[in-house]
Structure 1
């Protein structure tokens, strides 16, 4: 979709909608929202809805960043401790590596 052809009210509606959808544990939507609306929020000449779009872009970027840090922390912790966690790690694993003690 070309945002230059969309009215400002519709841009605000879309930005707000993507932000709210991100709360359904979909941080990828927040990432898309922050990237897609970045130019509208920070590089375009000022217009009435821009202040709210800027707010949603910033909050989407923060939410996406927090999710990324949490996910990276969990993946690192699990990979480093999987073998020492024993049966508990087996129960929460989707794939159990063969041959690993």
Structure 2
């Protein structure tokens, strides 16, 4: 979709909708929202809805970064501790790697 064709109130509505969808544990949508509306929020000349778009872009970016960090921490902990968790570690895995008891 070309954002240049949308009126400013529709841009705000779309940005807000993407933020709300991201709140339903879909952090990828937050990342898309941040990338898609970054120029609208920070590069374009000021207009009435820009302040609210900027707020949603910043919150979406922060949410996506926090989710990425949390996911990286979880993957690291799981990979390092799976064996010591025993049966629970194996039950959390779709594929149990061979070579370690």
Question: Could you state the TM-score of these two structures normalised by the residue count of structure 2?
Answer: 0.97
Secondary structure at the residue paired with 1:84? helix
Count of residues in Structure 1 that have an aligned counterpart in Structure 2:
101
- For the pair 1:23 / 2:60, whether they are aligned, the reply is no
Cα distance in structure 2, aligned partners of 1:54 and 1:66: 18
- For the pair 1:4 / 2:4, whether they are aligned, the reply is yes
- What's the CA shift string for 1:5-42, capped at 9, x where partnerless? 11001000000000000011100000000000000000
Return 5+ residue gaps in structure 2 as ranges.
Answer: none
The alpha-carbon deviation at position 98 of structure 1 amounts to 2.3
**Pairing of 1:71-86 with structure 2 (within 5 A):** 71-86=71-86
- For the pair 1:34 / 2:34, whether they are aligned, the reply is yes
Q: Structure 1 stretches (4+) deviating beyond 3 angstroms?
A: none
Show the counterpart of 1:96: 96
* 82-91 vs 64-73, greater mean Cα deviation: 82-91
Secondary structure at the residue paired with 1:93? coil
Cα distance in structure 1, aligned partners of 2:98 and 2:27: 32
Cα distance in structure 1, aligned partners of 2:100 and 2:18: 42
The alpha-carbon deviation at position 99 of structure 1 amounts to 2.8
Question: Could you state the TM-score of these two structures normalised by the residue count of structure 1?
Answer: 0.97
